[in-house]
Amino acid sequence: MPEKVRVAPQEHKGCPNIEKCKDCATKSQYFSLFSNVFLAAFKGVAGTLTGSIGLIADATHSSADVLNSFVVMLAMNISKIPPDENHPYGHGKVENICGLFVGVVLFFGAVLIMDSSIEQLMNPEPLIPPHSIGIIVAIISILTNEVFFRVEYCAARQVNSPALEADATENRADSITTVAVLIGMLGAQFGYPKADPMAALAVGVITGPIAWHLLSKNISGLMDGGQTLDQVAMINKLVTENPEVKGVNYIKTRYTGSDLLIELEVMIGSDTSIARSDEIASEIKKKLKPNFEHLGDVIIVCRSENTKDPDLISALQVQTTATEIKEHDLMTSLQKMANEKKTI
């Protein structure tokens, strides 16, 4: 029995009830939005009252989270729209667009935070350490973000949603940056006032790589990035286990949102009937289905093993079609001339 290949990471266990996971994914969007609104306001007010530059920078980060959470909700609702005439593969790519948007917002937010922090560090005037109440605010923020990260990330991996995973990653980034802010405020309380703007600078430095990860992953999704070589080898192994498959010409994979699409061409015996080749394709699909989670369309082309050069055959078909078009045009012209003579 081959090892089950997952679209999600190998270390994550399957969901025993996918409908429950989908419901959790839907609810977590709303919880994330409301929690980010609360945290942005909470940290913004606390940062202003306590005079913590790091906490204000973190509140700016949470304000961007509000926008990101709203965009994620919109994207996930659009991705659920069934395929139509103009979008035969569905609307799943909108999740990658959303993930890309989150990455861009996160990246520019990191740049702005670092710019503000460096300006504060270069300021020759003595800095006033923030009030100790900011430490309590930071701890509450860390715990809240971490809880919502775990809930959203679990749901995102189970339903294979790039948009929800991006939002979860954003919550984890917020949690990590608030840890830096907390360290900065503690340092300021112990006589190192510049520790606060240094913590804000750390927020930007930590956020940068997280933003880059989201950008690169979702750009890959938009450019039809597919399975790893090991997983493609597993597909090849599953397909060639069918005794009537003589070989595999190619295997192509790509993602559209949460769904994995597979296209492959197999070689079969030259005496195999068309009806039997359809049955072989169905058997291969049934073999792949239980071994891949979030598997969408599987397109299988069966070709006779006597066809040595598929590209040559395709070229001949194109040439034949072109010749037929020329012959048709010639016959049409002759018929038109004959009709003109009759008229005269």
Joined tokens for residue 94: 């909108």
Joined tokens for residue 137: 């605010």
pTM value is 0.61
Task: Give the pLDDT mean for 69-87.
Answer: 81
Q: Measure the CA–CA gap between 152 and 147, rounded to whole angstroms.
A: 9
The reply to whether 87 and 216 lie within a common domain is yes
Per the DSSP assignment, residues forming a β-bridge with 252 are 263
User: What is residue 18's predicted lDDT score, i.e. its pLDDT?
Assistant: 67
For residue 53, the one-letter residue type is: I
Q: How far is CA 143 from the centre of its chain?
A: 26
Q: Containing H/E element for 262?
A: strand 259-268
**pLDDT above 70 for 13:** no
The reply to whether 67 and 215 lie within a common domain is yes
User: What is residue 265's predicted lDDT score, i.e. its pLDDT?
Assistant: 92
State what percent of residues in the chain have pLDDT above 70.
82
Q: What are the CA-CA distances from residue 301 to residues 89, 126, 242, 294, 298 (Å)? A: 18, 73, 15, 22, 10
| Structural domain range at position 256 | 229-308
Taking 3-state DSSP, the helix, strand and coil percentages for the chain, each rounded to the nearest 5, stand at 70, 10, 20
Condensed to tens digits (0 to 9), the pLDDT of residues 169-222 reads: 878 877 877 887 788 878 877 878 777 778 778 777 877 887 888 888 888 888
Query: Tokens 């359809």 correspond to what residue?
Result: 278
User: What is residue 296's predicted lDDT score, i.e. its pLDDT?
Assistant: 80
Task: Give the pLDDT mean for 103-127.
Answer: 79
The reply to whether 267 and 190 lie within a common domain is no
The reply to whether 136 and 177 lie within a common domain is yes
Q: What are the CA-CA distances from residue 94 to residues 20, 90, 153 (Å)? A: 23, 10, 19
Joined tokens for residue 78: 């659009």
242: helix, coil or strand?
A: coil
The reply to whether 233 and 204 lie within a common domain is no
Contacts by 109-113, CB closer than 8 A, 24 or more apart = 109/60, 109/61, 109/64, 109/207, 110/203, 110/204, 110/205, 110/207, 110/208, 110/211, 111/204, 112/60, 112/204, 113/57, 113/60, 113/61, 113/200, 113/201, 113/203, 113/204, 113/207
Q: Measure the CA–CA gap between 13 and 18, rounded to whole angstroms.
A: 12
222 neighbors 192 (Cβ within 8 angstroms): no
Q: Containing H/E element for 21?
A: helix 18-50
The reply to whether 270 and 156 lie within a common domain is no
The reply to whether 249 and 281 lie within a common domain is yes
Q: How far is CA 270 from the centre of its chain?
A: 41
The reply to whether 120 and 142 lie within a common domain is yes
The reply to whether 218 and 234 lie within a common domain is no
Condensed to tens digits (0 to 9), the pLDDT of residues 307-330 reads: 655 554 444 344 434 444 455 555
The reply to whether 61 and 167 lie within a common domain is yes
User: What is residue 205's predicted lDDT score, i.e. its pLDDT?
Assistant: 81
How many domains are there within the chain? 2
User: What is residue 328's predicted lDDT score, i.e. its pLDDT?
Assistant: 52
Q: Measure the CA–CA gap between 193 and 188, rounded to whole angstroms.
A: 4
